[in-house]
Amino acid sequence: MVNLPPDSTQLTGSVVRELAAECGFDLAGVAAAGPAPDFGRYRAWVDAGMAGEMRYLTDHRADLRADPAELLPGLQSVISVGMLYSGPEPCSVDMTEPERAWVSRYAWGDDYHDLMRGRLKKLAHKLCEIRECEWRACVDTAPLLERSLARQAGLGWIGKNTCLIREGVGSWFFLGELLTTAVLQPDLPPPDRCGTCTRCIDACPTAALTPYQLDARLCISYFTIELRGMIPENLREGMGANIFGCDICQDVCPWNRKAVQTREAAFAPRDFAPDLEKLGAISEAEFQGMFRSSPVTRAKYAGFLRNVAVAMGNSGLDQFREPLRRMAEYPNAVVAEHARWALSRLSGLEQAL
Ligand code: B12
Ligand code: SF4
Ligand code: SF4
């Protein structure tokens, strides 16, 4: 139970952090309500076409991001929370087994959306015991600029890789928000600690990053999770073994060298580097079973097989010719085309030797 100071007209960040920790959040801070200061950046990004085909970023609800009060009338404060998800496992950039695929860290365990939403509701109930208020819990899917809000709430700075990074913690954490009509004392954004570093920009295999901006149309994470159709042919090579998401621009970030690890059992890895041959042969039912309650199902079965085909092509291993020939006969045209590309890539790699 939180002890309140006697004249607590405005609840302080430390009270909020205490409540959030009781609900299982690793990070928490408060941003004051008001128009989103970074909305112009968002609008310019969308107008430049950098959202690709992510309609939920460009549709009629896009402009709601200009002010979080659009989502809760009478909004006074936004509690931004973070949950760590990384464990002691190796980084994608250190993987050396070409017969294996790579699933990005955030998708190793259970999906975070329901878990965080449940905890945010718990936080709301605790807050309501202290202050009568209206509230709304958001995780990822609401039209909110979550990283901007988290920065304003003091959770970290936005790095040149566009991720929110916290000094002494790293960037392997999810974000969520509790919008509330309660008046809470806002926190301050921390300084940008990227300095002259450009590791993330230099390491991105598809040149998707310029400082503080990501062009989703070039990003492996976008291709493997969000894009439903053909992956641009000239960028498939850069995808390497990544079959769902991409961690490279965070793997190389010096602030993740000593990243704080999660204690959350739900995020423990199932199989972060699964066997490509096994993946290429799974049925749709097996796919659903293998990735039940995991974020990986977002790729959909056909998208997943498409990604597996590309990774097989990039492996340089002859053993994948046979499974790829079978995938080239697959009724889904996208999967079949990527399998044919992968076969020709394997031949090209062989000739280059
Ligand atoms: C669309 C989306 C994607 C897209 C586009 C990513 C992008 N960089 O825009 C794709 C599919 C590529 C993607 C990938 C990933 N995503 Co994503 N994604 C989102 C989503 C749904 C919307 C992001 C968005 O609005 N992008 C548009 C751009 C313009 O906005 P932005 O990146 O937030 O940048 C704003 C601010 O950061 C600010 N800003 C930017 N630069 C600067 C610089 C300064 C100096 C200042 C002051 C402000 C500022 O202005 C921008 C506009 O408001 C959010 C959830 C949400 N609702 O916010 C999750 C989210 C950003 N993703 C998340 C994660 C975990 C990932 C991946 C790590 C998953 C993976 N392993 O593949 C990668 C990381 C790739 C990367 N380097 O960003 C987390 C990030 C957590 C964190 N610590 O940063 C979020 C917050 C989801 C969550 N609830 O936890 N994602
Ligand atoms: S997630 Fe991967 S492809 Fe996307 S910007 Fe980062 S390193 Fe580049
Ligand atoms: S790799 Fe360097 S430039 Fe990129 S986000 Fe990390 S500290 Fe910033």
* Protein residue with least CA distance to atom 5, ligand 3: 159
Across the range 281-309, mean pLDDT stands at 96
Residue 315 maps to a domain: no
Is the CB of 209 inside a 6 Å radius of any atom of ligand 2? Answer: yes
Summary mean pLDDT of the chain: 94
Residue 257 maps to a domain: no
Phi/psi of residue 51, each to 5°?
A: -80, -5
At 184, the pLDDT band (50, 70, 90 cuts) reads very high
Residue 137 maps to a domain: yes
With CA atoms as reference, report the closest residue to 91 among 68, 70, 108: 108
Give me the residue label for tokens 């097996």: 286
Tell which one of 93, 199, 209, 223 to mutate to probe ligand 2, the residue whose CB is within 8 A of the most ligand atoms: 209
Give residue 83's identity as a one-letter amino acid code: M
Residue 154 maps to a domain: yes
Q: Look at residue 348 in the predicted model and tell me its pLDDT.
A: 84
Which ligand lies nearest the alpha carbon of 208? 2
At 327, the pLDDT band (50, 70, 90 cuts) reads very high
Across the range 303-316, mean pLDDT stands at 98
The pTM of this model reads 0.96
Q: Look at residue 89 in the predicted model and tell me its pLDDT.
A: 92
- Per residue in 281-292, pLDDT tens? 999 999 999 999
Report how far ligand 2's centroid is from the alpha carbon of 135 (Å): 34
Instruction: Determine contact, residues 344/316, Cβ cutoff 8 Å.
Output: no
% of the chain exceeding 70 in pLDDT: 96
Q: Look at residue 272 in the predicted model and tell me its pLDDT.
A: 82
Across the range 95-120, mean pLDDT stands at 96
Q: Look at residue 188 in the predicted model and tell me its pLDDT.
A: 97
Q: Look at residue 4 in the predicted model and tell me its pLDDT.
A: 52
Per-residue 3-state assignment (H helix, E strand, C coil) for the chain: CCCCCCCCCCECHHHHHHHHHHCCCCEEEEEECCCCCCHHHHHHHHHCCCCCCCHHHHCCCHHHHHCHHHCCCCCCEEEEEEEECCCCCCCHHHCCCCCECEECHHHCCCCHHHHHHHHHHHHHHHHHHHCCCCEEEECCCCCCCHHHHHHHCCCCEECCCCCEEECCCECCEEEEEEEECCCECCCCCCCCCCCCCCHHHHHCCCCCEECCEECHHHCHHHHHHHCCCCCCHHHHHHHCCEEECCCHHHHCCHHHCCCCCCCCHHHCCCCCCCEHHHHHCCCHHHHHHHCCCCHHHHHHHHHHHHHHHHHHHHHCCHHHHHHHHHHCCCCCHHHHHHHHHHHHHHHHHHHHC
Q: Report d(CA 190, CA 213) in Å as an integer.
A: 19
Residue 216 maps to a domain: no
Residue 203 maps to a domain: no
Catalytic annotation on 140? Answer: yes
Residue 254 maps to a domain: no
How many domains in the chain?
Answer: 1
Instruction: Identify which has the larger pLDDT, 15 or 8.
Output: 15
Specify the long-range contacts of residues 45-53, CB closer than 8 Å, at least 24 apart.
45/213, 49/217, 50/213, 50/214, 50/215, 50/216, 50/217, 51/216, 52/216, 52/217, 52/222, 52/226, 52/227, 53/226, 53/227, 53/228, 53/229
Q: Look at residue 281 in the predicted model and tell me its pLDDT.
A: 93
At 2, the pLDDT band (50, 70, 90 cuts) reads low
Q: Which domain holds residue 160?
A: 13-86+108-180
Across the range 296-313, mean pLDDT stands at 97
Active site residue: 38, 63, 67, 140, which one? 140
Pick the atom of ligand 2 nearest to 200's CA: 7
Q: Look at residue 236 in the predicted model and tell me its pLDDT.
A: 98
Phi/psi of residue 62, each to 5°?
A: -55, -40
pLDDT of 87 > 70? The answer is: yes
At 1, the pLDDT band (50, 70, 90 cuts) reads low
Q: Look at residue 255 in the predicted model and tell me its pLDDT.
A: 98
pLDDT of 7 > 50? The answer is: no
Tell which one of 93, 202, 255, 257 to mutate to probe ligand 3, the residue whose CB is within 8 A of the most ligand atoms: 255
- Per residue in 228-267, pLDDT tens? 999 999 999 999 999 999 999 999 999 999 899 999 999 9
* Protein residue with least CA distance to atom 2, ligand 2: 246
Q: Look at residue 251 in the predicted model and tell me its pLDDT.
A: 97
pLDDT of 328 > 50? The answer is: yes
* Protein residue with least CA distance to atom 4, ligand 2: 219
